[in-house]
Structure 1
Amino acid sequence: MDLSLILAMALMNKIKNLANNLKARYIIFSNGAFIYDNFKDEILNIEYIDHNEAKKVLRPS
């Protein structure tokens, strides 16, 4: 069974180092919106938030 790292924050360089040390195959961020195959060094899935939806959430008060 391959080890997967599932994380909330995207600190890719540090996480890749951790995944390499643990020999983890997959790195998963944001509930699966970003899935990375650490062995093949490729992105398997990436989803983006619609720009208008992001503006609603990130708009300064």
Structure 2
Amino acid sequence: MMNLPFLYWASEETGDPRFSQIAANYADMAMKAFIRGDFSIIYGDYFFLEALMKLTDKELFIW
């Protein structure tokens, strides 16, 4: 997320809209991946575990 201002700046400086599109796509992806339906936030430590559980749709046991 720290690179978003740089990408928007690069888009303005170069006149290339691809940089701002990359920034917008990344921000949308991050919002979908890290913000739950109840608007709480998934912290990085739990992100991988929750994503994996969504992919497998099964309960995971950590040994």
TM range (shorter): 0.3 to 0.5
Q: Which has the higher helix share?
A: 2
More RCO (CA 8 Å, sep 6+): 1
Q: What TM-score does the superposition give when structure 1 sets the normalisation length? A: 0.35
* Bigger strand share: 1
| TM-score, length-scaled by structure 2 | 0.34
